[in-house]
Amino acid sequence: MTNPALEVRDLSVAYSSQGRLLPVLEDISFSVAPGEALAVVGESGCGKSTLAASILGVLPGNASILKGAITIGGLDTTRAGFEAMRAIRGTRIAMVSQEAGGALNPSMRIGRQVMEAVVAARKVGRAEAEAAALDLLTRVALQNPAAVMRRYPHQLSGGQQQRVLIAMALAGNPSVLVLDEPTTGLDATVEAEVIDLIAHLRREYAAAIVFISHNLPLVSRVCERIAILYAGRLIEIGATAAVTAKPAHPYSAALLSCLPSPQHHKILNPVAPILGEVPPPDNRPAGCIYAPRCPLRTDNCTAKQPELLAVGEDHSSRCLYPDRVDAAEAQNPIASQVPAIADEHVLEVEHLVKRYGDLTVCDDISLTIRRGETFGLVGESGSGKSTLARCIAGLITPESGVIRLNGRPLAGQTRQRELGEIRALQMVFQSPEATLNPSFSIRQTLGRAIKKLSRRGQEKSEVGTLAKDVRFPEGLLDRRPRQLSGGQKQRVAIARAFAGKPELVLCDEPVSALDTSVQAGILYLLTRLQVEDRVSYLFISHDLGVVRYLADRVGVMYLGQLVETGPTHQIFAGPRHPYTDALLKASEREIGGSPRKGASIDQVEPSASACRFAARCPHATTRCTTEAPPWRIGEDGHQIRCHLDLETLRSVA
């Protein structure tokens, strides 16, 4: 057997806080062979980032390694000094972090940043570094790498920035590459491209990869082994096929089943959130750490911590009852029947146009949403989805077009709208942090929302009711936003939107920044509130799986235009617009083959007399570049904007 490129043995790490040592990682052991990819999966608070920082030797000052060893190419990095670590960082080990934008220097051109990484790793001169930087940017499949060299980070998309970071990490040809949530927050198409690229580079560079993520189904597409981390302990490890086909720990099974799939139904067979929270380091239970959340626990589970024992070849679990684990934990239905959607429009948008300078961000958008309906809006970043929602919310004013709520035209700006209209039309954003006042307690925030949107004098009793409605723990009402988890903050944001009993809630990527387990809880909550209150949603997401699960109808936007709209089941069954088809395939595709090129950095507004998707469409003809495509009308209001007829579109999907 070849020597591992990375070996972590009995690693325990603690943080000191207020005179106490809080254990964050306990007895972690695994190894990764050259060219092998190991996924490390778990929710926020499980110790994934601490593990990455330990491997990189960049733990914060209040952290200490209590015991264990991390060996990279024969060097125990837990005992190596500062200089020794500096010498191997970038050459033997490198990292790609989640926030590509934050990791790049905003005031330095990309070329110089990549060249600096090359010089640091290879100790070469300027000319050689420049050639190497160009070569690296080419290898990460960036279109027009010479032009990318001249750009600043803000002139690149998130996916392009992530490719640049990967290029910099590869500058020293490292034997170990740590990827810390490298695709979180990226569009499905870009995510698929980055995952493809990682799979390709792995073969080319033969680096050992540690891929840290909260998304188990995603990493199982690219890694051959998986390690599941829970509350600082390794609770299952094994070959991907074994762990995903027959998980041997209830936590792994829960992580696998909390992402929506076509087998789920949002009301009759909803995705199962993992109830409860990861216990903090200062309050970890005795015995099995998963026991408080585990549906299989018995009295034996709390008596003693289970050991990590083999359950098969290259497959171990820290559960007393691995044979009882069911991969598909069923969730109670939200209602016994699916409520009918009224044939009454809550929202009508007609011919809405919004421009920023010369760029038309929303181009002649028309759509309707019925009472009790969820309308899913999908498309890549820059497609105009959020701009459309902000126009509807009155946060920005469109150049032209009409927005009607319950048949009455709405004023362009929120402050010109009546209180009843504001109450009826609310918005939930991707980052609740940005909209929750950090100096207010949650009780104050909800009280103010009720005061503004509801009857006066009711806030004391209603804050409790509102918190209960969104399953926000009453004991946390006096906390500030920074003391809450991401999922808890999003529950507060949803509670605030529901303070005035809204009729339509605009949800702009409300689950994109959340762990998959927390996401399942928010999707469940939104559906339950809809069933109870007959509220309608405009649900914006780049995640087609989530939209397929939640939406009754879907609109697909591309470069400011709606290119397809119709009932969700029709769109997924086909025929589909070629762009929708590309989005769907990106979210479903298996990994392999050559990496696909990222989108061009030189995005120009297409001519009005052409199909906007022509430059990327595999079926484009000359006509597509000279003539705007017509709407093709299918069944049940399904419409596709394309020159191809429905039969042809069905055959090419």
Residues forming the site for ligand SF4 (CB under 6 A): 249-250, 288, 290-291, 294, 296-297, 301, 306, 319-321, 578, 611, 613-614, 617, 619-620, 624, 629, 642-644
CA pair distance 467, 491, nearest whole angstrom: 8
Is the Cβ–Cβ distance between 426 and 498 less than 8 Å? yes
Find the shortest distance in angstroms from Cβ 285 to ligand SF4: 10
Find the shortest distance in angstroms from Cβ 306 to ligand SF4: 5
**Three-state SS annotation for 156-207:** CCHHHHHHHHHHHHCCCCCCEEEEECCCCCCCHHHHHHHHHHHHHHHHHHCC
Find the shortest distance in angstroms from Cβ 301 to ligand SF4: 3
Nearer to ligand SF4, 13 or 644 (CB): 644
Among residues 152, 351, 329, 308, the alpha carbon closest in space to that of 250 is found at 329
Among residues 112, 119, 106, the alpha carbon closest in space to that of 150 is found at 112
Find the shortest distance in angstroms from Cβ 334 to ligand SF4: 26
The amino acid sitting at 461 is S
Find the shortest distance in angstroms from Cβ 555 to ligand SF4: 16
Nearer to ligand SF4, 195 or 584 (CB): 584
Is the Cβ–Cβ distance between 57 and 246 less than 8 Å? no
The amino acid sitting at 330 is A
Q: Where are the alpha helices (DSSP H) in 364-441?
A: 385-393, 419-424, 432-435
Nearer to ligand SF4, 592 or 631 (CB): 631
Nearer to ligand SF4, 105 or 626 (CB): 626
Q: Which residues of 543-553 are buried (b: 16+ CB within 10 A; e: fewer)?
A: bbbbbbbbbbb
Tokens of 57: 């030797």
Nearer to ligand SF4, 213 or 317 (CB): 317
* Residue 575: cis peptide before it, omega within 30 degrees of 0: yes
Find the shortest distance in angstroms from Cβ 288 to ligand SF4: 3
Largest CA distance in the chain: 73
The amino acid sitting at 78 is T
State whether the Cα torsion 45-47-49-53 is positive or negative: positive
Nearer to ligand SF4, 34 or 287 (CB): 287
Find the shortest distance in angstroms from Cβ 630 to ligand SF4: 9
Find the shortest distance in angstroms from Cβ 519 to ligand SF4: 22
Nearer to ligand SF4, 195 or 644 (CB): 644
Tokens of 124: 């070469």
Find the shortest distance in angstroms from Cβ 588 to ligand SF4: 20
Nearer to ligand SF4, 537 or 613 (CB): 613
Is the Cβ–Cβ distance between 572 and 546 less than 8 Å? no
Nearer to ligand SF4, 530 or 580 (CB): 580
Query: Going by DSSP bridges, is the β-strand pair 359-370/374-378 parallel, antiparallel, or unpaired?
Result: unpaired
